[in-house]
Chains A and B, each alone.
Chain A
Amino acid sequence: MTHRTDIRFVLNGRDVSVANVSADQTLLDFLRLDRRLTGTKEGCAEGDCGACTVLVGRLGDAGLTYAPVNACIRFLASVDGCHVVTVEHLSGPDGRLHPVQQAMVDHHGSQCGFCTPGFVMALYALWMQTPKPTEVQVETALQGNLCRCTGYEPIIRAAIAVRRYGTPASDHLNTERETMTARLAALKDGRRVVSGPENNLSILPSSVDDLAECLQAYPNATIVAGATDVGLWVTKFLRDIGPAIFTGHLEDLKTVERQGSLLLIGAGASYTDCQDLLSEHLPHLSSYWDRIAGWQVRNLGTVGGNIANGSPIGDTPPVLIALGAEITLRRGSERRTLPLADFFIDYGKQDRLPDEFVESIRVPLPRPDDLDAAYKISKRRDEDISSVAAGLHMSVTDGIISDVRIAFGGMAATPKRASTAEAALNGQPWARESFEAAAEALAEDFSPLTDWRASSDYRMLTAQNLLRRFFLENDHATDTPVQLTCA
């Protein structure tokens, strides 16, 4: 079967076919420059402000679902087969304001107005998913949207009030759902897509097996899943990423399921895709997960990508290492599995061959009596990169600690286990003194850096205090709260 060379999707109401889409062409530039849909704004070009928020509808196993994403770091090629909805598509054919828009107007949710279309789109997505949100749900949905004028209060009031302005059932994305599902289904032709100029190809494999083949053919290609990191290589560092192999559309890479005593997470599953299953089986990750980036980024960013890029400050590796996770890498038809902790060799160096890709992550479920915790410390509570992230796991039997796994992010050149601290706890009694000894031992495990997120001293003291927090939280002798909650 020959490759397709154009990218096809639905933009608002229209079918679009774009030929010669280079790997680094962003959706935002396409909207603003090619289509002059200027309601979508560029505020930061790094997925942190939300001014460029659009909805992308994707036809997956669960049917057609819409999610807010950052158009600035979403590559155009990656919307192949999708429905892209911009702020221009909100008001009805009669020109009347959409309920979300009217609520924003009535509650004075805009001042300078530049961030407003992005807020409207995020609130639109929230309203469709959760028509009667709580204040905390609104805040969680707006973690990826910055406003510098209003102080947010009127926007929250508008978000709560939308329920009085209309119901999602009568919204046109819902009333036209069947038609749109059919239109998107028609775009799925099962072909590999290869678009763009020779030196800057966009490649969309037709399946995971085809992905393995593509990587063999283009071993130096950049693998792009959610682009929440690779996007910045382009928009901030002006790096060439072509040829790029996009994986975000591969449904069979998004598996998230329980298999007996473990959870299987496909490398292409977004943070959002994983959220429900993780919250059900690993409740200690529930609020931690809400603090990974903002909603738009959680809808695109993948656990597989967070691991594969090898960052020392990724949020997921420390907590997954502490749970004893393993990853499976695939090269052609060969697969190998290794403990996640062993994947990280050094700064910028992972145990992955050029034509190999992370296929899945397996997370063993703790036993009922195990103690687990996930902590994230950042300058700002939400939508911030961690200064220190920690995963802790241990068993306590008859008052004796065993099976200790403690991993930290932000403390070394890679996500790393605190082996000296672990040794200081293993076999020791459950007591404050044991944790004090482990805290002391951390100084043997790490010599953290000073940078703009935190000083070395703060990182070390906080890491030590997180061990103390873990003790206090799990010690039945203490009953006063030892951690702030957002509610």
Chain B
Amino acid sequence: MKDNVSIIGSAHTSVNHDSAVKHVTGQADYTDDIALPQGALHAYLGVSDVAHAKLLGIDFSDVLATPGVVGVLTADDVPGANDISPTHLNDEPVFPTDAIQFHGQPLFAVIAETRDIARRAAERANIEYETLPHALDPITAQKAGYPHVTAPLKLERGDVAPAQAAAPNRIKGRMSVGGQDHMYLEGHIAFAIPGEDDDVVVHCSTQHPSEAQHMVAHVLGVPSNAVVVNVRRMGGGFGGKESQMNLFCAVAAMAAKKWNRAVKIRPDRDQDMTATGKRHDFVIDYDVAFDDEGRIQAVEGSFAARCGFSADLSGPVTDRALFHADNAYFYPNVRLNSRPMKTNTVSNTAFRGFGGPQGVIAAERMIEEIAYATGQDPLDVRKANFYGTKDRNVTPYHQEVEDCILDRLVGELEETSEYRQRRQDIIAFNKTSPVLKKGIALTPVKFGISFTATWYNQAGALVHVYNDGSIHLNHGGTEMGQGLNTKVAQVVAEAFQVDFNRIKITKTTTEKVPNTSATAASSGTDLNGMAALNAVEQIKERLVKFASETWSVSPEEVVFHANQVHIGQDVLAFDAFIKQAYLARVQLSAAGFYKTPKIHWDRAKGQGRPFYYFAYGASCSEVTIDTLTGEYRVDRTDLLHDVGRSLNPVLDKGQVEGAFIQGMGWLTTEELWWDDAGRLRTHAPSTYKIPLASDRPRIFNVNLADWSENRELTIKRSKAVGEPPFMLGISVFEALSMAVASVADYRECPRLDAPATPERVLMAVARLQAGS
């Protein structure tokens, strides 16, 4: 019966991003592009200009005297709870009442006829305060006796002290790892339209519509059913719009209800970067014990993070740093502690990898230490410590690694990148090149997939088939460029066996799918794809029942294939069949649901199976540095990454390439720099430097491990792809480190801190030259 005819845009094919044409023509609407209703107002935040102070009062007379100003919103105007803390610790007010906790903290909002008026007027408030001493970084905060913003985590396995005592080698060190701004091209924005009774509709750019909905309800003091949050698409998220949009949604909604007019709030880039959280900076103290072959015997690590003034997502972020402090390596004895430090800085938040990269880079630093101490190629040290498949396969959180494919994956990359030969060539080059020095590194990544907050691992979808055969798809995930909507639509197209373009992908709205999880933790496709498939299967089951009864055939004889439905010997076009089903009163709509199986986590014990599976990857980078200035260039990078059985190879490859460059940026030129007064001085692209096209590796070979298939029953055996390849950027950092090490004949670990700006590279070169 089956022939060669197939549908357009099925799973595992390279379908274009569904908005691609709209992107290139400028017709894709972002929140700021929505036409405003009559009488719409604009809000702008007024912020603090001190890092830590007692707030005594604010005089708004000059603000209110400004023509065009409608009013101000302060903590006094919050009708419900003055709290937008996503973890409900009640430590993050919309606006503070008595304490200023960081430079740039939003204190109030001005509402005016135009954004320009609101923005200018916000500068005119007279803020009275009494300054207090501040602590900007986690070490200063520890010394000043600052508290943790949330409970720390300890992971422990084996017996550390005897293992340390018995090991022939032991190295202790400290590494500082900088944070990172998301620098999504579209900044934060929310636009609220008041409705009748308690109702309000908020259009915004959030990765977590349900949380925004619940926060707005909480702040307004109304039930969640009064609030609708809509997200058509984001101009980038990267974690920066998981919890951080709550503030803007709350302000827009409060103002909309107070003045009964639509209100839009859009900070400028500088305010976006100073008033919203970023990737956590870490100071990591490590203590690694190892044998003479470089096999790790024991690891002890303390991970102090700059969390900012409130918890936000710092608990799970610092937890995940510990979950990934092993990266790909088996630690026979291990003890890891997190130190989520309160600081007088903006409250740090989710960012692609969610603390994982900071854990992984600590593991790679320890590998480097061992390699330089034992005089080995770091790749050999890595391989000697990889997780085994039968033994040596238990993580510090007591989950068994069941699916490790690193031996094969790293082996392949080692071959295709010609790592060994190039390393020899580079060592030879460095001997004769006086100024320019090269380095090469091949680094692996293993990344755990699932939210560690177990209840987040659920999703819903709503699928309608209209009686003309067209399909309307809605799910709880949000589209921020990653192609989630495209992939989920491919799953639906394949399940119904209809062409992709028959499916209308609509905005994410809390009205259609309730209680959704953030589109985060790389989980969007895994969760929402499954939920959508579940909805389709419910509809199909009804359709099969209808067909088998009506045509008097067995259910097995009803087959959906290539825009047709085969029923026994009959063949109907899909839409003709749907019309018949409709006339026969078959329900053509279903809500789907999915929850990830197998996972559990006992945080108090530090034991469980927090991750459903792991995704793997490896990268090999070669760099050249200039030892007179610290400038560098990435000469070549080869990537091999595991996405299981790819749902859409071209979109997955796009994620891998983009994540690598973003990870490289984190470790090279992206530097967050605060002055002594606590002001972030790198707060816009003029001062905060993300990679440009010309920073790409001069040769860039990117491949998916097309032989890989998820051993767990995920959607079509694919694997999550958003975060894991971010850590492939570490190969650039390690290659820079090797180039630096060459000036002291590789006898000493350069202990580069991140980001390795040209300045850090040059200063490390100078330090090693002076020491040798």
Contact = CB atoms under 8 A, between A and B. Distances in A.
B413 to A, nearest CB: 18
Interface string A450-487: 01111101100110011011001000001011111011
Interface in A59-91: 86-88, 90-91
Of the candidates B20, B235, B694, the one having the most CB atoms from chain A within 10 angstroms of its own CB is B694
B628 A466 contact: yes
- Classify the secondary structure of A's interface with B: loop
A40 B689 CA distance: 22
Interface in B177-209: 182-187
B23 interface: yes
A238 B123 contact: yes
Contact of A455 (B123, B269, B698, B759): B759
Contacts of A133: none
Interface stretch (B59-67, B148-156, B574-582, B658-666): B658-666
A96 to B, nearest CB: 11
A146 B628 contact: no
B33 interface: yes
A183 B657 CA distance: 46
B30 A114 contact: yes
Q: For the side of the interface on A, what is the size category?
A: 35 or more
B322 interface: no
A38 B186 CA distance: 13
A240 B481 CA distance: 38
A381 B19 contact: no
Contact of B186 (A112, A117, A379, A466): A112
Given A40-B26, A148-B662, A143 B694 contact: yes
B630 interface: yes
Given A36-B35, A43-B269, A153 B185 contact: no
B22 interface: yes
A45 interface: yes
B24 A117 contact: yes
A112 B20 contact: no
Interface string B215-248: 0000000000000000001111110000000000
Nearest to A151: B661
A366 interface: no
Contacts of B436: 480-482, 484
B693 A156 contact: yes
Contact of B629 (A32, A38, A466): A466
Contact of B684 (A44, A147, A451): A44
Given A36-B35, A41-B186, A377-B629, A153 B25 contact: no
Most buried by B among A37, A112, A385: A112
A112 B184 contact: yes
B686 A48 contact: yes
B404 to A, nearest CB: 27
A75 to B, nearest CB: 14
Given A112-B481, A379-B689, A147 B185 contact: yes
B504 interface: no
Interface in A139-162: 139-140, 142-143, 145-156
B45 to A, nearest CB: 14
B624 interface: yes
B23 A151 contact: no
A154 B20 CA distance: 13
A458 B481 contact: no
Contacts of B762: 458, 461-462
Contact of B658 (A48, A149, A487): A149
B616 interface: no
Nearest to B273: A44
A230 B497 CA distance: 58
B314 interface: no
Contact of A97 (B25, B30, B632, B650): B25
B758 interface: yes
Most chain B CB inside 10 Å of its own CB: which residue of A48, A140, A232, A478: A48
A381 B624 CA distance: 14
Q: Which of A90, A91, A381, A452 has the most CB of B within 10 A?
A: A452
Contacts, number: 264
A130 interface: no
B669 A379 contact: yes
Given A49-B185, A115-B185, A139-B694, A110 B631 contact: no
A104 interface: yes
A232 B184 CA distance: 21
B238 A148 contact: yes
Nearest to B674: A452
Interface stretch (B133-141, B337-345, B427-435, B595-603): B427-435
Contact of A238 (B27, B119, B682): B119
A263 interface: no
B671 A382 contact: no
Nearest to B119: A238
Interface residues of B, number: 88
Contacts of B187: 43
Interface string B413-456: 00000000000000000001111100000000000000000000
Contacts of A316: none
Please indicate which of the listed interface residues B20, B629, B651 has the most CB atoms of chain A within 10 Å of its own CB.
Answer: B629
A113 B483 CA distance: 11
A44 B481 contact: no
A159 to B, nearest CB: 9
A304 B483 CA distance: 46
A383 interface: yes
A51 interface: yes
Nearest to A232: B686
Contacts of A48: 684-686
B759 A380 contact: no
A452 B683 CA distance: 10
A138 interface: yes
Contact of A112 (B119, B233, B662, B675): B233
B235 A380 contact: no
Nearest to A112: B481
Given A44-B685, A381-B695, A111 B631 contact: no
B654 A111 contact: yes
B702 A153 contact: yes
B546 interface: no
Contacts of A145: 693
Contacts of A177: none
B26 A146 contact: no
Contact of B631 (A155, A381, A455): A381
Interface string A427-465: 000000000000000000000000111110110011001
Given A108-B654, A482-B435, A487-B698, 4 more contacts: A46-B686, A112-B236, A139-B696, A377-B631
25 contacts: A39-B26, A45-B269, A46-B685, A87-B26, A88-B25, A97-B24, A111-B483, A111-B658, A112-B184, A112-B185, A114-B235, A148-B236, A156-B696, A380-B691, A380-B692, A381-B695, A385-B687, A452-B675, A461-B762, A462-B630, A466-B629, A481-B433, A484-B624, A484-B631, A487-B698
The 6 A-B pairs at the shortest CB distance, nearest first, are namely A39-B26, A114-B235, A112-B481, A113-B23, A151-B661, A111-B481
Interface of B: 16-17, 19-30, 32-33, 35, 119-120, 123, 182-187, 233-238, 268-270, 432-436, 480-483, 624, 626, 628-633, 650-651, 654, 657-662, 669, 671, 673, 675, 681-682, 684-687, 689-696, 698, 700, 702, 757-759, 762-763, 766
